[in-house]
């Protein structure tokens, strides 16, 4: 009923749907015509049944067409038509590779139309592995070097795997022997030659990452300016990301690792639909690099967040920090205080236009920090953020001025959890290592210091002062200290806890 009413109100909507359906039907007819003469039939029943189901056909004729290969200069080399279309599989590895890739491209459309897209890789692999038995001993296996050029395509990977599986033991040994000469970690090479190979490979991957079709890959605006990058350019960029990230420990000493990360940050923060595949690849690459060298990733993120001259680049870094908190919070757990300080610094009201530009991103990140880590808490009434450190201190920031308000030191181990009181006049910090909960005044005032001194007593101040490092930013002592037992087997607080820690009851 809703559809009829909509058509009555907007007749053009019905016309658009009808035109779209006709366009889809014409495309399927074209695919059917090309697939009929490109694909060899009676080879693999599973794929052929799916194709027949998508095109509503029960059989195909045996007509053939001339096949060809386009050279690097743009010329097209065509073969004369053959009486038996199976003869095309016996000409050369390159011809077999081109034909398999063409079939894979056409078959994906029909597999999708048949609703079997989850089986695409299995169907294509099964077809490729069935060909040698049907064609005979003269069958030419596809060129692996040709298939490797399309490695980012899952269908090409499936065809590559099936081609390797079909090789004999002797052919596989020859293939390994040939390519092992290019392996940069081969032990028999002298160290100087290894360095040359590694350096050349690292530089080549870096150049591929910063593709020439993208004028300024470091910024989102420059990446978005050129959205007409070719499929080949995208494949090169994705391949370089994958190889750089997986072998980062090998290439790191030969490249400007920080600049590579900044390029990946720019790709990962781009939200243009045409850059979706590169966006996903960049995020995966950053996570791989973080596992190999988290201090480098964290240092680059926090430095650029606080010191980058361009607001867009600061927002890129904030976006990546938020992505780490949501997807890989454990990677940031030991450095939460550094991340929080970098985010707070972006809210500095003394830097023109910066606070207004990053306010939404910074607020979202602070929300995720409080939600993901029990050692972080926020008071909305006082506009203060508290962060526990691994060194046993709790740092309170005033978000209105983007500065440290007070540093509370006293725990003998990491601050595992903390929480403001409802009125934000007190804060409770918990340390599992020294098994204490300490309650502090949040304001470093004369009244607070006098109250703290009277509560603790002069003698206790002297005794505890011997075991603490006094700094100019922390002259307070805890208002109250509560000890607790930590029985063996008690689960420790993890950064994945979503419930805020409970404020201890005041005595």
Question: SS3 helix, strand, coil % of the chain, rounded to 5?
Answer: 55, 10, 35
Joined together, the tokens standing for residue 191 give: 């160290």
List, in sequence order, the alpha helices (H) in 269-353: 276-292, 294-307, 311-327, 329-332, 336-345
- Residue 90 per-residue DSSP state: G
Q: Are strands 403-409 and 393-398 parallel, antiparallel or unpaired?
A: antiparallel
The helix (H) or strand (E) run that includes residue 2 is helix 2-9
Spatial separation of the C-alpha atoms in residues 331 and 61, rounded to whole Å: 59
Q: How far is CA 238 from the centre of its chain?
A: 12
- DSSP helix/strand/coil, 481: strand
Spatial separation of the C-alpha atoms in residues 58 and 491, rounded to whole Å: 63
pLDDT tens across the length of the chain (507 residues)? 333 334 444 556 677 777 777 777 777 777 777 777 778 888 888 888 887 777 665 555 555 666 677 766 777 777 777 777 788 888 888 888 888 888 888 888 878 777 777 788 888 888 888 888 888 888 888 888 888 877 777 788 888 888 888 788 888 888 888 877 766 555 554 455 556 666 666 667 676 676 544 444 444 444 444 444 456 677 778 888 888 888 888 888 888 889 889 989 988 988 888 788 888 999 999 999 999 999 999 999 999 999 988 888 999 999 999 999 999 999 999 999 999 999 999 999 988 788 999 999 999 999 999 999 999 999 998 999 999 999 999 999 999 999 999 999 989 999 999 999 999 999 999 999 989 999 999 886 555 444 444 444 444 444 444 444 333 344 578 889 999 876 665 555 444 333 444 444 433
List Cβ neighbours of 424 (8 Å cut-off, separation of 6 or more). 379, 381, 382, 384, 442
The helix (H) or strand (E) run that includes residue 377 is strand 376-379
Spatial separation of the C-alpha atoms in residues 316 and 338, rounded to whole Å: 17
Joined together, the tokens standing for residue 75 give: 């010329």
């Amino acid at each position: 009923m809703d559809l009829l009413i909509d058509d009555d109100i907007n007749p053009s909507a019905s016309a658009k749907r009808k035109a779209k359906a006709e366009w889809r039907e014409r495309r399927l007819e074209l695919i059917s015509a090309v697939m009929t003469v490109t694909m060899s039939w009676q080879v693999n029943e599973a794929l052929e049944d799916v194709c027949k189901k998508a095109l509503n056909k029960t059989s195909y004729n045996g007509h053939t067409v001339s096949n060809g290969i386009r050279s690097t200069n743009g010329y097209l080399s065509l073969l004369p038509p053959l009486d038996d279309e199976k003869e095309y599989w016996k000409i050369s590895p390159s011809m077999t590779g081109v034909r398999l890739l063409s079939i894979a491209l056409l078959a994906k459309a029909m597999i999708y139309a048949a609703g079997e897209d989850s089986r695409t890789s299995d169907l294509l692999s099964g077809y490729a592995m069935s060909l040698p038995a049907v064609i005979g001993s003269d069958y030419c296996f596809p060129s692996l070097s040709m298939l490797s050029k399309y490695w980012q395509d899952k269908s090409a990977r499936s065809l590559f795997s099936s081609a390797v599986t079909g090789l004999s033991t002797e052919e596989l040994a020859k293939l390994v022997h040939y390519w092992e000469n290019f392996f940069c970690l081969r032990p028999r090479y002298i160290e100087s030659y290894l360095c040359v190979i590694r350096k050349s490979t690292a530089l080549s991957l870096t150049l591929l990452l910063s593709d020439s079709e993208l004028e300024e890959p470091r910024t989102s605006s420059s990446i978005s300016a050129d959205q007409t990058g070719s499929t080949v350019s995208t494949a090169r960029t994705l391949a370089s990301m994958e190889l750089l990230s997986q072998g980062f420990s090998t290439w790191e000493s030969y490249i400007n690792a920080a600049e590579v990360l900044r390029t990946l940050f720019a790709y990962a923060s781009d939200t243009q639909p045409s850059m979706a595949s590169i966006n996903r690849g960049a995020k995966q690459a950053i996570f791989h690099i973080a596992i190999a060298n988290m201090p480098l990733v964290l240092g680059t993120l926090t430095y650029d967040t606080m010191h980058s001259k361009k607001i867009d680049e600061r927002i890129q870094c904030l976006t990546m920090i938020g992505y780490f908190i949501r997807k890989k919070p454990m990677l940031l757990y030991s450095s939460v205080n550094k991340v929080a300080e970098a985010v707070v610094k972006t809210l500095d009201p003394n830097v023109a236009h910066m606070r207004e530009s990053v306010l939404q991103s910074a607020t979202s990140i602070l929300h995720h920090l409080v939600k993901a880590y029990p050692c972080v808490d926020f008071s909305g009434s006082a506009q203060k953020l508290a962060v526990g450190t691994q060194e046993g201190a709790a740092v309170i920031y005033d978000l209105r001025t983007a500065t440290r308000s007070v540093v509370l030191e006293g725990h003998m181990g990491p601050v595992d959890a903390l929480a403001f009181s409802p009125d934000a006049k007190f804060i409770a910090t918990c340390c599992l290592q020294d098994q204490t909960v300490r309650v502090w005044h949040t304001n470093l005032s004369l009244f607070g210091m006098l109250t703290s001194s009277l509560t603790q007593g002069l003698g206790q101040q002297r005794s505890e002062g011997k075991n603490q490092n006094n700094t100019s930013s922390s002259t307070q002592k805890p208002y109250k200290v509560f000890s607790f037992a930590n029985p063996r087997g008690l689960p420790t607080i993890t950064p994945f806890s979503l419930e805020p820690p409970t404020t201890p009851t005041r005595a």
